[in-house]
């Protein structure tokens, strides 16, 4: 079993930055690829960005290209999401997820085994 806890969300003005963290329990953190997803009000949950087990490969959705960066520290069992140049349309609950199955590079959600509770990010105009 793996438990994931997100933190770092909050209210920020458009153009500002936030850094989200996801802390994982257990001692096999490096066995999982780690992804971030988000769900805006009235919309389905969508893929944002993912990082490979070693941290050497990342994939992301076009809407965050050049603005969001994912990183991980396997020694601390933590994955980070640095969000810059935030826009009102980035407003959502952000979730981290851990998975071991192949296919994560496509942005699919069904390859993940564990999910966090989410953290709210609100970007004002």
For 59-117, how does the pLDDT look when each residue is reduced to its tens digit (9 = 90+)? Answer: 999 999 999 999 999 999 999 999 999 999 999 999 999 998 887 788 889 999 999 99
Q: What is the 3-state secondary structure (H, E, C) of the chain?
A: CCCEEEECCEEEECCCCEEEEEEECCCCHHHCEEEEEEECCCCCCEEEEEECCCCCCEEECHHHCCCEEEEEEHHHCEEEEEECCCCHHHCEEEEEEEECCCCHHHCCCCCCCEECCCEEEEEEC
Cα–Cα distance for residue pair 80/98, rounded to 1 Å: 13
Contact status, residue 37 vs residue 46, Cβ threshold 8 Å: yes
pLDDT score at 75: 92
Residue 80 gets the label, from left (phi > 0), alpha (psi -120 to 50) or beta, of beta
Say yes or no to pLDDT of 27 above 90: no
pLDDT score at 114: 95
Say yes or no to pLDDT of 1 above 80: no
Say yes or no to pLDDT of 49 above 80: yes
Percentage of the chain beyond pLDDT 70 is: 100
The mean predicted confidence, pLDDT, of the chain is 95
Contacts of 62 (CB under 8 A, 6+ apart): none
């Amino acid at each position: 079993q793996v438990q994931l806890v997100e933190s770092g969300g909050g209210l920020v003005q458009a153009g500002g930055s936030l850094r989200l963290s996801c802390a994982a329990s257990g001692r096999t953190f490096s066995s999982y690829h780690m992804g971030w997803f988000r769900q805006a009000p009235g919309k389905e949950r969508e893929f944002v960005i993912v990082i490979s087990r070693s941290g050497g490969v990342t994939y992301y959705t076009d809407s965050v290209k050049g603005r969001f960066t994912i990183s991980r520290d396997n020694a601390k069992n933590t994955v980070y999401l640095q969000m810059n140049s935030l826009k009102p349309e980035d407003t959502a609950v952000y979730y981290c997820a851990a998975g071991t199955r192949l296919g994560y590079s496509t942005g699919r959600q069904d390859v993940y085994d564990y999910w966090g509770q989410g953290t709210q990010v609100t970007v004002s105009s």
